[in-house]
Chains A and B, each alone.
Chain A
Amino acid sequence: MSMNLEEIKQYLKEYNGPELKIMEVCGSHTGAIARNGIPGLVSDRIRLISGPGCPVCVTPSSYIDRLIDLCLTPGVCVVTFGDLMRVPGSRMSLQQASGMGGRVKMVYSPMDVFPMAQREPETTFVFAAVGFETTAPVYALMVEQILEDHIENIRLLTALRTMPGIIDRLCAGGADIQGFLAPGHVAVVTGSKAFEPLAAKYSLPFGVAGFTGEQILTALCGIVKACERAKSGKDGGLVMNFYPSVVTREGNTEAQELVERYFGVSDAVWRGMGMVPASGRLLREEFAALDAGSRDLTEDHKINKACCCDKVLMGKMKPTQCPLFQKVCSPLRPQGACMVSTEGNCYTYYVNHRE
């Protein structure tokens, strides 16, 4: 007998077992949970924590600084998603650099850079290639097209991050988490199998979830049930797919192969967290000509010494517990990446008055 939405809500509201901390690692989940009012729908004993799920928030300041230098260079135009425009580097944001005469163009799709490059052959277009596994295949298609069409004036500055590495760091670092809401669109590409080694290693349940309120509640229900199951001695480590319309166990193998062809696994710096092994991807050496200098972007500076973004991203601190939250740090005057990005943990708490 399947549960309908009302039964799922009732189950979650009436849960009375040991306190469970469930972490989501996807900015879109952070936003969807807040926008649907989900924290208020589940029992007090279920705590929903936001982890490092926003690729913009975890990009080190040196990446932004490099983009700014590039956009202020004559003959160069930086092309980016809207997400990055307001993120502060060590001196300013791309938006501010644009105001100073820097050339920055905002697009919906990286593919939009091709007609631009064709119209202005004398300009070098650098695409700010940030993202997780969901977006990596898009960049792979880009590289493939650049090579096939012999395009000379497009480069990528990459900040590609991958999920398993950071989740491993979280769990290995002793984070007090009993279950994970796994990112649905990452899983479209990687397959739910990407989370199986972690589930086994740490005996934790992973629920791959979509992005509607209903889909998230369903996945939470599965995770809580799995936790209850673990209580009675059964193995708690398993991966459940609650987004079967687009997620399979294997994922999109064609996309995976394409990414593998052009990008190799690398260590990566996560803003405020330092170097995390095997948690990113870089253009392979043979494609170095297309790279605008992604390899040496490891430095990371806090805008404000008291910023606690690193702890917030690891789920160790709630945004409301950061000394700067609301008093000094707000979306209008962000002191850290978590407040800049509209999917950042602090931003979401702020605009939804979450406690």
Chain B
Amino acid sequence: MPETVRITMEHGSGGQATGELIGEIFAPAFRNEVLGQMEDSAVVSGSGRIAVTTDSFVVTPLVFRGGDIGRLCVCGTVNDLLMRGAVPRYLTCGFILEEGLEIELLRRIVRSLAETAAEAGVQIIAGDTKVIEGNGGLIINTTGVGSVPDGLDISAGNAGEGDAVLVSGTMGDHHAAILGERLQIESDIESDCAPLGEIVKGLLDGGIRVRTLRDVTRGGLGTVLKELAEASGKCFIIEEDAVPVSARVRDFCGLLGLDPLYMGNEGKLVAVVPREQAAEALEIMKNARYGSGAAVIGKVAGTGEGTEAGELLMRTQIGGVRRLTVLQGEGLPRIC
């Protein structure tokens, strides 16, 4: 490829420049038999129930502490599949490149994407690239496909009275990392973006009768738990003291008047499991990659006086009770 340093509209024309871009950057990174056929669509084997998800990634900056948009798009997609107990198998990636994007940056992102895909055990079997006018940005759209073992039913509606609620680690890290990059606050906070396959596999292989799994993304833990409470028609009660938040993230939030309960992650999950299996599930999570900070944070209560269906309650550090909703608004930092 000639000495082009940045993406131009030519790369999107479908001609020579496009071919070279794919040949030099995408094909070598995503090397596999299926993609190598370079057909119009991928034909793969599969039977039984499949899980399908789609997602788009528009994060800025493209590279941040703890990750980049390439790693993020694999984790986000793969985790959505894992939350239904599916084994992630295939990913598609549509790249929308803005004019001006540095090709070396693109190469780095694609490499990171490929490495994360390998870690997560998925193949990139279809892709697309388009170029639009812009300012050097990048958007990635994905579809993820996984296979769901027979008889497995993991979904939001399954939570039952007495079940235990666990999280796989500290809350708010990804959102704090991104926000810290955008404002002038220097911090060591890293995005926690990670594929959660080992945790989920560990739980299922370990015989845990998992009721619900949800990854804690946009909107944070508060939003996710409130949605689960409403979907299941039960009341969720959590302990403020038990929710793991790193000192770094806690103080970052303190500086900006933000609430870690409403700051998103990209590598943490909520698991609802039968009470009698809570200790075991915790042990499994703690021993799995990316689960070392796991904790039991609460339980699913029956509905009755003070505990209504669809309600999310939190016992505060001083013993009060706080009723939580989903995130309202954008969670902009405050000063006043």
Contacts and interface: CB of A to CB of B under 8 A. Distances in A.
| Real binding pair | yes
Interface of A: 5, 9, 27-28, 34-41, 54-56, 81-83, 85-86, 106-109, 112, 130-132, 135, 213-214, 217, 330-332, 342-343, 347, 350-354
13 contacts: A28-B257, A37-B315, A37-B319, A37-B321, A81-B333, A82-B333, A86-B329, A108-B183, A213-B318, A217-B318, A350-B328, A351-B328, A352-B324
7 closest pairs, A vs B, by CB?
A: A37-B320, A82-B332, A331-B328, A213-B318, A353-B323, A82-B333, A81-B335
Which among A35, A112, A343 has the greatest number of chain B C-beta atoms within 10 A? Answer: A35
Given A54-B336, A82-B334, A108-B183, A9 B319 contact: yes
A350 B256 CA distance: 21
Nearest to A41: B320
Contact of A213 (B185, B255, B320, B334): B320
A37 B313 CA distance: 10
B323 A108 contact: no
A153 B255 CA distance: 28
Contacts of A55: 336
B335 A214 contact: no
Contacts of B328: 330-332, 347, 350-351
Given A86-B329, A108-B335, A332-B328, A38 B184 contact: no
A330 B336 CA distance: 21
A36 B322 contact: yes
A213 B322 contact: no
Given A81-B334, A81-B336, A82-B333, 12 more contacts: A37-B318, A38-B318, A38-B320, A39-B320, A54-B336, A83-B332, A85-B332, A106-B332, A135-B336, A331-B329, A353-B323, A354-B323
B316 interface: yes
Contacts of A132: 336
Interface of B: 183-185, 255-257, 259, 314-325, 328-330, 332-336
Contacts of B319: 9, 37, 41
A342 B322 CA distance: 16
B329 A112 contact: no
Given A112-B184, A353-B325, A213 B316 contact: yes
Given A135-B336, A342-B334, A35 B318 contact: no
Contacts of A27: 336
Contact of A40 (B317, B321, B329, B333): B321
Contacts, number: 101
B317 A130 contact: no
Contact of B259 (A35, A83, A131): A35
Nearest to A59: B336
Contacts of A332: 328-329
Nearest to A109: B184
B334 A343 contact: yes
Contacts of A342: 257, 329, 332, 334
Contacts of B257: 28, 342-343
A109 B334 CA distance: 11
A34 B322 contact: yes
Given A34-B322, A35-B322, A353-B323, A83 B334 contact: yes
Nearest to A84: B336
A108 B255 contact: yes
A268 to B, nearest CB: 15
B102 to A, nearest CB: 22
Nearest to B327: A351
B84 to A, nearest CB: 29
A106 B331 CA distance: 13
A83 B336 CA distance: 7
